[in-house]
Amino acid sequence: MSKLLGIDVGSTTVKVVAIDENGKILYKSYVRHFAKVKETVLSELKNVLNGHGGDFSASITGSAGLGLSQRSGIAFVQEVQAAYTAIRKFYPDADAAVELGGEDAKIIFVTGGTEQRMNGSCAGGTGAFIDQMATLLNVTVQEMDELSLKAERVYPIASRCGVFAKSDIQPLINQGASKADISASIFQAVVDQTVSGLAQGRRIKGKVLFLGGPLHFLKGLKKAFKTTLKLDDEHAIFPDDAPCFMAIGAALHSVTVQSRNLEEIIAAIENSTGSEEIITGEPLFKDKEEYTAFVARHRATDLKFCEIQTYEGGAYLGIDSGSTTTKLILITPDCRILYSHYQSNNGQPLDIVIEKIKEIYTLSEGRIKILGSAVTGYGEDLIKSAIKADFGIVETVAHFKAALHFNPKVDFIIDIGGQDIKCFKIKNGAIDSIMLNEACSSGCGSFIQTFAKAMGMEIDKFSMCGLYAKHPVELGSRCTVFMNSAVKQAQKEGATVEDISAGLSSSIVKNAIYKVIRAASADELGENIVVQGGTFLNDAVLRSFEKETGKQVIRPGIAGLMGAFGAALYAKENVSGESSTINEEGLKAFAYSSKSTNCHGCTSNCNVNIITFADGSRYISGNKCEKGAGLKPVSDSLDLYAFRQKRLLESVDGVKGRRGKVGLPLQLVMYEQLPLWAGFFESLDFEVVLSEKSSRKLYFLGQHTVASDTACYPAKLMHGHIESLLDRGVDFIFLPCESYNIDEHCSVNHYNCPVVAYYSELLKANNERLTDENFIMPYIDLNDEKSAVLKLHTVFKRFGIGKSQIKKALNAGFERLRAYHIDVRNKADEILTAAEKQGKQAVVLAGRPYHLDPEINHGINKLLTSLGFAVLSEDGVYERGDRVKVNVLNQWTYHARLYRAADFVCKNDNVNLVQLVSFGCGIDAITTDEVRLIMEKNGKLYTQIKIDEINNLGVVKIRLRSMLAAIEEGKRRKNG
Amino acid sequence: MEEVKTVDYTENYPKWKDEYKSTHKILVPDMLPWHFAIIEELLKQDGYDVEILKNDSRAVIDEGLKHVHNDTCYPCLCVVGQYIDALKSGKYDPDKTAVLITQSGGGCRASNYIPLIRKALKAEFPNVPVISVNFSGLEKDSSFKVGLKLMLKLVYAIFYGDTLMWCYNQTKPYEEDAGACDFVRDSLVAEITESFKTSAYKKFAKINKSIITAFAAVKRSREKKVKVGIVGEIYVKYAYLGNNNLEKFLLSEDCEPVVPALMDFVLYCIVNNINDGYFYGKKGLFWNANKILYKILHKKQKKIISYFEKDGNFEPIHDFEHLRRCADKVLNQGVKMGEGWLIGAEMAALAETGVGNIVCAQPFGCLPNHIAGKGVVRTLKTQYKDENIVAVDYDPSATKVNQENRIKLMLATARETLAGNDSDS
């Protein structure tokens, strides 16, 4: 037997292990490769050569090792397989192993049926995800680890993917939650993702091995795993060799490989060349001249400056407290810039703002008087209450104001910030439609920054180097997680930093044009385009945009400050009387403390953050409703959602039954058919028991049985409902499978979507507690009484219920459902009349029946009422709309309601529509475009909100407020 | 109650007219190279100027991305991309070209490909009509009229394609003389297409047997190889554009790909109609017709199986009745949207016929596959303890490396099992 060599090339690190003939480890190392895979491997191998020459049997493993293996001809072993080999040798008594790498997460079940699992493509980002989060908190990973150990509480953070988690974390940072708590929450999210996304119904138990870099170095992560999996020290094993474990496995696996001299091996790697597999685009600039002309053209739109040290007079302050950056600007009444500031939040936007205003007061030495101020952005509420600004305005309005200053004819604005992409079309001097990216494609802007950092480069330098790249790589445009792995692939294929830099710019632009705006051609955008947002300061991005659209656009020199500038302009135009803005004296005395707690105003138990200012005034955030903010809640008398929530539950009598207890999980189809089945079972003398109210906690309860993590949130919540019913000791749970929903005669067919129709199958298959006895899921078509009765008769045979009884019960059920529908429709009429009388705008919050669940809609109905809208739902109004003939195949019952509801909205001036869409709903990819078309054909504003497990209403609020602003603008124009 | 009127929101789109047959070129996306090669020829013989699209560059995917909603499934994106990319190539006159697509009319969103394709074409090629091939009475004003005779030819073409594909996959990995297998395939395809010119194509036994014997005559090694079944959403299961050349990849990894027959999908659709009768009382003329059709087709399938058995060289194709029994072990035959219960059935049938490894391929976020694909894996694992299954998502942004790495993991386990079995025996 010869010496063994294992090379593990991961997405971020290279691990090399050499083992001698007796199994003794001669050499082991763990180094970051910064995308220089080949070089790093070579230098490590030369280290081995220095101490130990001779013949080696070598294997390469790891996600990034495949290409290297193919090109160099060195054997390859899949990394999980490598790990498995090492486990069997060193830990033969292990029951399972969890391995986290840079981009992959894996679980190996050793005992009880060997099984090896890897995360799916969407759950990417574990080690890389932690890195990204640390960057977001502006700490090193080690610091984050230390911090996490001091945590006092854990916040729920969406764990499905990095992009989502980020959307959850950002508001926490903005609200002033402690870094320690956030750090611990991030680790918990990683654990939850591993346990739910990978284990999928199989419990991780017994002796568990934890492998890979992150699980070796991060104490906080170890702790979170141990606690979550309920493992003691004896059962949670963290090997000393954890980071190199796969490399050791690869070395052991090499036994079967023909040995070669190490120098030969090194030569094989050295001589391997990059493959031709990467796809490339066109260079951004041909030459220097082209670039110079380009720069000169854009210079023309820069604002003038004015010396703050000498200026005397009034000024207006605008602040844009964005998700990742804080922007301030101070302008003179003739719009010259006195002072501006653009900075990453580094977790503390409030501190930055206070510090910078102090600086302004110091610099101005009493010569300048702030005549007015306005705040916009994510942190609007907090900053506004802290500095007592005159106005808080919606971001979209601020951006529009600013764009108008640069081009009064502007008809299209696109803003690419760190987190969000926003686009507005302007028609007749008002915002006509707003497009915001959905969570999935967020973070594109800051991705460049994070990536540059990971490459050890300054962002400016990184983006500049892409300008003359010969072959910009194609990186796809779905989300940053995918982009990340595309970049990794490109690197492995030998793409240069220049090519990647240019590729990133163009992929951000493509994402914006084709995914956010969803434009079929560049002409749709408009003639007078203003681009803004910090990301556009990057010339490569700007150039990509102009190239992709084929249009020359305006990018103001203050592209990154447009929100703040717009706010300042707004203050200038709207302030009357003395400004309330905090003065120099007040600023000196300014101090605050922050505390996070749970609001006990209702059963939601929101995590709220209370910031108390020195003068005793308080600012509360994190609350879903006014109650949490210490205000009197807005009445829900004009909220059909509130009515339905109450009315639906009233359709259950809940009395004891002679025949036993039936559990009905209140989710998916049951949100519509509860009255029917409650009526059915109660008239058969069963006691109807409902599952627990949906909540994040309930979701976690069933998370381990989720089989497909890309299914919609309502479906995934169903797992928790089932667990809760099982815990409530029901005799059986009932959830029918219905290919066909009830025919409402307004579509060509009346299907349910596949998930609603058959989710029972998945539940049964993936929850070991469910059996044929305690889970009843008949296939029925409620439109055909005869077969339905027959089927129900068969499944309830053991209760000795006659066919005629079943039939009677079913009729009783239908009666209850009818009564429910009538009540909902009557209430809808009542709300419409009342809204009209009070001169209120109404919104049809259109989605699916199960969007009624407060855990699914995140209280958007309450948000709407607090903004002064009356709230309706699609099932309350669709019958008032005409029947519609649509372009798409209209074949699902619930979706057919949407089209008719849209038609109804179009026929009523003061009624608007907001479509709620669950993330991952494939069918809504079809309905949304069609509903939009109906709305736009009638000249109505279309607003869509994508909802997921993310519990962050910040973006939604911006959207709805923008909608309100647009509606009011529209009204004003109509009247004037 | 007052009369509800109907508002028409539909946009105008070019419709396919029967007389276009003589003037228009028809573009067809390449879903299944085996079968479509034969179908292309027989449609040509019937006077249709069809062309199966072979364009598969990155531009295809880019056009798809541009014209199709992000959340729409990958197959739709591939198909639209192929059409637009082809039309942009300048090879076709946009005023004299139509595109063709099949439509099942099931509860899956795939039934909505037609409006999505129309919308995409409208932006660039507003005069190109979309032709629907369906048997559910959809798109009456723009559908492909399939007469009884053509229908019969299509059925035979599918059967022959299945036999070809099935034999090829069992021969190719083992061929002793490189290229021998491909040579046999090419000459057989030529023979079969020739037979459609006359009524010779109806010689069912002769043609099937000749396929089997021709492949059996190819010299094969006795070496044992890892067998990998491919199941899943129909497009990514069969189309190389959709699954990044999965069959080729498996061959290059020295495996035997096992791709279940297309006729199984046809029978699956028919059985769903029959089941609707038994389950929900949807009985009538249509139901009876389906029952008769099923009987005829299944009988034909049984015949092919008997040829295989008689020859003895190859594992026969699946018996659909066996597939149905397999389905019953895994999930209810009521799961009928998309590829529904067929996926579970095929996985179980593969397990029972000695194919120990399976790639379950689906477009990212495929709704029916949540349930019928990933959802049944656990059930399968309890019944077929050693079955080695990997679910792979296909998506324009998912990298090939990512997909191949997962398949490689599955193969590593497969090889180990194969080696283990060898040393046991």
The tokens describing B401, both together, are 């490396």
Give whole-number Cα distances, A840 to A106, A218, A837, A843, B11, in Å.
Answer: 54, 54, 8, 10, 34
**Alpha-carbon torsion (A337, A343, A349, A352), positive or negative:** negative
Chain B nearest-CA distance from A955, in A, is 20
Q: What is the pLDDT of residues A669-682, one digit of tens each?
A: 999 999 999 999 99
Strand residue runs (E) in B109-241: 130-133, 226-232
Q: Does A83 touch chain B (CB under 8 A)?
A: no
The tokens describing A952, both together, are 């962050």
Please enumerate in sequence order all residues whose Cβ is within 8 A of that of A512, keeping only pairs 6 or more positions apart, or say none. Answer: A414, A416, A421, A423, A437, A444, A545
Quick check: B220 and B250 in contact, CB under 8 A? no
Mutation choice for B interface testing from A763, A926, A937 by most B CBs within 10 A = A926
Q: What is the pLDDT of residues B266-279, one digit of tens each?
A: 999 999 999 999 99
Closest residue by Cα to residue A732 from A801, A662, A660: A662
Instruction: Give me the pLDDT at residue A622, please.
Output: 64
Mean predicted confidence (pLDDT) in B189-208: 95
Dihedral class, residue A239 (left if φ above 0, else alpha if ψ from -120 to 50, else beta): beta
Mean predicted confidence (pLDDT) in B24-47: 92
Quick check: B396 and A475 in contact, CB under 8 A? no
**Rounded-to-integer distance, Cα A864 and Cα A843, Å:** 8
Taking 80 as the threshold, does the pLDDT of residue A64 lie above it?
no
Q: Does B283 touch chain A (CB under 8 A)?
A: no
**Rounded-to-integer distance, Cα B425 and Cα B406, Å:** 29
Q: Does A925 touch chain B (CB under 8 A)?
A: yes
Q: What is the pLDDT of residues A419-453, one digit of tens each?
A: 778 888 887 777 777 777 765 666 677 778 777 87
Quick check: A545 and A531 in contact, CB under 8 A? yes
Residues of A whose CB is below 8 A from B6: 882-885
**Rounded-to-integer distance, Cα A102 and Cα A9, Å:** 10
Mutation choice for B interface testing from A77, A79, A739 by most B CBs within 10 A = A739
Chain B nearest-CA distance from A553, in A, is 21
Residue type, B239: A
Quick check: B43 and B68 in contact, CB under 8 A? no
**Helix (H) and strand (E) counts for chain A?**
35, 32
Biggest distance spanned by C-alpha atoms of chain B: 79
Q: Running DSSP on this structure, what letter comes out for residue A416?
A: E
Closest residue by Cα to residue A848 from A780, A768, A753: A753
Q: Does B411 touch chain A (CB under 8 A)?
A: yes
Give whole-number Cα distances, A342 to A311, A442, A537, A704, in Å.
Answer: 22, 20, 12, 44
Instruction: Give me the pLDDT at residue A276, please.
Output: 44
Closest residue by Cα to residue A889 from B142, B365, B284: B142
Q: Are strands A883-885 and A870-873 parallel, antiparallel or unpaired?
A: unpaired
| Continuous segment of H or E residues that includes residue A688 | strand A687-690
Closest residue by Cα to residue A505 from A282, A323, A297: A282
Helix, coil or strand: residue A728: coil
C-alpha A68, offset from chain centre:
34
**Rounded-to-integer distance, Cα B155 and Cα B173, Å:** 28
Q: What is the pLDDT of residues A226-235, one digit of tens each?
A: 998 899 999 9
Give whole-number Cα distances, A285 to A279, A281, A291, A309, in Å.
Answer: 18, 12, 6, 40
Residues of A whose CB is below 8 A from B348: none
Residues of B whose CB is below 8 A from A122: 364, 393
Please enumerate in sequence order all residues whose Cβ is within 8 A of that of B186, keeping only pairs 6 or more positions apart, or say none. Answer: none
Quick check: A449 and A459 in contact, CB under 8 A? yes
| Continuous segment of H or E residues that includes residue A647 | helix A640-650
Residues of A whose CB is below 8 A from B398: 121, 482
Quick check: A504 and A451 in contact, CB under 8 A? yes
Biggest distance spanned by C-alpha atoms of chain A: 94
Chain A nearest-CA distance from B381, in A, is 9
Chain A nearest-CA distance from B157, in A, is 30
- Region of poorest pLDDT, from A13-17, A455-459, A602-606, B270-274: A602-606
**Rounded-to-integer distance, Cα B399 and Cα B407, Å:** 13
The tokens describing B97, both together, are 């070209």
**Rounded-to-integer distance, Cα A472 and Cα A496, Å:** 9
Q: What is the pLDDT of residues A334-360, one digit of tens each?
A: 999 999 998 877 657 888 899 999 999
| Continuous segment of H or E residues that includes residue A433 | strand A430-436
CB nearest B375 (choices: A477, A766, A884): A766
Q: What is the pLDDT of residues B408-417, one digit of tens each?
A: 888 888 888 8
Taking 70 as the threshold, does the pLDDT of residue A604 lie above it?
no
Closest residue by Cα to residue B105 from A282, A747, A95: A747
- Contact assignment for B10 to A886 by CB distance below 8 Å: yes
Q: Does A649 touch chain B (CB under 8 A)?
A: no
**Rounded-to-integer distance, Cα A684 and Cα A670, Å:** 18
Q: What is the pLDDT of residues A854-888, one digit of tens each?
A: 999 988 999 899 889 999 999 999 999 999 999 88
**Rounded-to-integer distance, Cα B182 and Cα B169, Å:** 11
Q: What is the pLDDT of residues B75-100, one digit of tens each?
A: 999 999 999 999 999 999 999 999 99
Give whole-number Cα distances, B148 to A929, B152, B155, in Å.
Answer: 38, 6, 11
> Who has greater pLDDT, B139 or B188?
B188
Q: What is the pLDDT of residues A247-256, one digit of tens each?
A: 999 999 898 8
Q: Does A75 touch chain B (CB under 8 A)?
A: no
Quick check: B241 and B361 in contact, CB under 8 A? no
**Rounded-to-integer distance, Cα A801 and Cα A810, Å:** 13
- Region of poorest pLDDT, from A633-647, A673-687, B384-398: B384-398
Give whole-number Cα distances, A683 to A73, A775, A799, in Å.
Answer: 73, 20, 14
Which of B 307-346 lie inside 8 A of A, CB atoms?
331-332, 334-338
**Rounded-to-integer distance, Cα B314 and Cα B256, Å:** 13
Mutation choice for B interface testing from A79, A761, A921 by most B CBs within 10 A = A761
CB nearest B66 (choices: A514, A753, A759): A514
CB pairs under 8 A between A and B: 243
Count other C-beta atoms under 10 Å from residue B125's C-beta. 18
Instruction: Give me the pLDDT at residue B425, please.
Output: 46
The tokens describing A885, both together, are 């003939």
- Contact assignment for B280 to A740 by CB distance below 8 Å: yes
As a whole-number percent, the residues of chain B with pLDDT over 90 amount to 67
pLDDT confidence band for A62 (50 / 70 / 90): confident
As a whole-number percent, the residues of chain A with pLDDT over 90 amount to 42
ipTM over 0.85: yes
pLDDT confidence band for B1 (50 / 70 / 90): very low
Chain B nearest-CA distance from A953, in A, is 22
Q: What is the pLDDT of residues A953-972, one digit of tens each?
A: 766 887 788 888 878 877 77
The tokens describing B222, both together, are 């006795």
- Region of poorest pLDDT, from A534-548, B145-159, B388-402: B388-402
- Contact assignment for A485 to B8 by CB distance below 8 Å: no
Q: What is the pLDDT of residues B48-59, one digit of tens each?
A: 999 999 998 888
Quick check: A732 and A775 in contact, CB under 8 A? yes
